[in-house]
Amino acid sequence: METEVEKSTIRSIKKRKKIVLGIIISICTLLIIYFGMAIYFMNHFYFGSTINKISVSGKSVEAVNEQMASEIQKYKLNIKERGGTNEQISGKEIGLKYDMNVEFKDFKDKQNPYKWVSGVFNTKDSKMIVGVKYDKDLLKEQFDKLSCFDSSKVIEPKNAGYKYINNSYVIVDEVNGNKGNKDILYKDVIDAVSTGETTIDLDASNYYVKPQYTSKSPKVVATRDMLNKYVSSKITYTFGKDKEILDGSKINKWVTVDENSEVTFNEKEVEIYMDVLASEYNTVAKTRNFVSSSGKVINIGGGSYGWAINKVKEIQDLISIIKEGKSIEKEPAYYQTALYHGKDDIGKTYVEIDLSGQHLWFYKNGVLITQGDVVTGNDGSDKTRTPSGIYMINYKERNATLKGEGYASPVNYWLPFNGGIGIHDAGWRDKFGGVLYKTGGSHGCINSPYDVAKTVFDNIETGTPVVCY
């Protein structure tokens, strides 16, 4: 009778025999598979084999010959364009065929059937590129027919731009368009046909001409910020009680931005704006309604008195203010100022001279300070006639000598208001007024009695209006 130890030993021996038998069976199975596949690959291409990127996996040389002949016949190159448009160039249209200097059998013979296992991991002997032949003239002809070259359909790329809306500038997105580089595409087509590629995606290639600046370009963003700085400016011009407000609603029309996002300030438009201000608020030589001492309303134009904006300086000042994005209240720069703003810029302090009545009045703050008959320029000559108009006292001088052609006249009080024409005493005269000016008038000055000239001189300030009519 077997002991327990003997029974255990017998079971172990049986178990080892089963394991060894299993290993032998597995090895035999693997050998059968290996040699079976080796026999298969003696007449078939490795799995994963390609010719011109066309799969010939597991096929015989005969089958591949037929397949490749069929593939070359139905070859089409698909060109994917923007907007969902697709165009094709077919192999038939360009006389496409294989350059069979190397046969497919040679490719197959390089694949050792007994190394098929390593062929799964090493694709070196599993890929083949067969050269093709085509008619270059036919290819160029088909290429030139592509509708993407039709000028009527080509949309030019456009850089990001700017739009003024709701008191500020916003960036307008760039236009990608569909204009392309024909030379680049022609090279891509030749490469695709030569290697068997069936698709060219123009967006993925380098075909399309791109805008230089997009909405995200730092320069575009910086330009927008600069424009918004300009239109944030607010300039309030004051003309006495009147005001003129200049803000972004007008400023935005004075700036232009080119395709390269370069900003230009249109100084001509600024000049036009300044011309409008000057037309409205300049008063030099403008016709005024003047109420004379007799109570009659007289229309007087000409002369040098009044407001005159210094347009050249103010244009430059204004542009500088806008570029700094300031908001200020200011008077414009003036060549010349008057005593008061408004239509009645003469005010209540002035000298009034009636040329036909040969009389002078001087009012200060509405009060008559002095008056008297005078002798004005000789009416018989344009050179000596006293011109009408509204002028102002340029300066005051005591004990002056007035010089001219053939004369030198010393005076006690000299008040020039129109070049060499002014008010002064005339000690050489014993009569004033009447019609003396018609034949015995002055050289253009206002000859006044001594006391009248003295009173005016003692009470008048430089810049006081002189009204001659």
Active-site positions?
424, 445
Task: State the sign of the Cα–Cα–Cα–Cα dihedral 100, 101, 103, 104.
Answer: negative
Structural contact between residues 266 and 255, judged by C-beta atoms closer than 8 angstroms: yes
Structural contact between residues 342 and 240, judged by C-beta atoms closer than 8 angstroms: yes
266: its two tokens: 């249109």
Q: Give the residue among 239, 243, 131, 248 at the shortest CA–CA distance from 190.
A: 131
Residue 203's Cβ-count burial label (10 Å; 0-12, 13-18, 19+) is exposed
3: its two tokens: 């002991």
- Cα distance between residue 467 and residue 458, in whole Å: 19
Helix (H) or strand (E) run with residue 172 in it = strand 168-172
Q: Give the residue among 260, 276, 147, 279 at the shortest CA–CA distance from 202.
A: 147
Would you give the DSSP letter of residue 442? B
- Cα distance between residue 181 and residue 282, in whole Å: 59
CA angle, 441 as apex, 439 and 446 as ends, to 5°?
160
Spell out the residues 6+ positions from residue 55 whose beta carbon is closer than 8 angstroms to its own. 48, 49
Spell out the residues 6+ positions from residue 353 whose beta carbon is closer than 8 angstroms to its own. 359, 360, 374, 376, 386, 446, 466, 467, 468, 469
104: its two tokens: 């497919």
- Cα distance between residue 466 and residue 32, in whole Å: 130
Site of tokens 């190397």:
102
Residue 302: what are its φ and ψ, rounded to 5°? 85, 180
Spell out the residues 6+ positions from residue 440 whose beta carbon is closer than 8 angstroms to its own. 375, 378
Residue 212: what are its φ and ψ, rounded to 5°? -70, -35
Residue 392: what are its φ and ψ, rounded to 5°? -150, 155
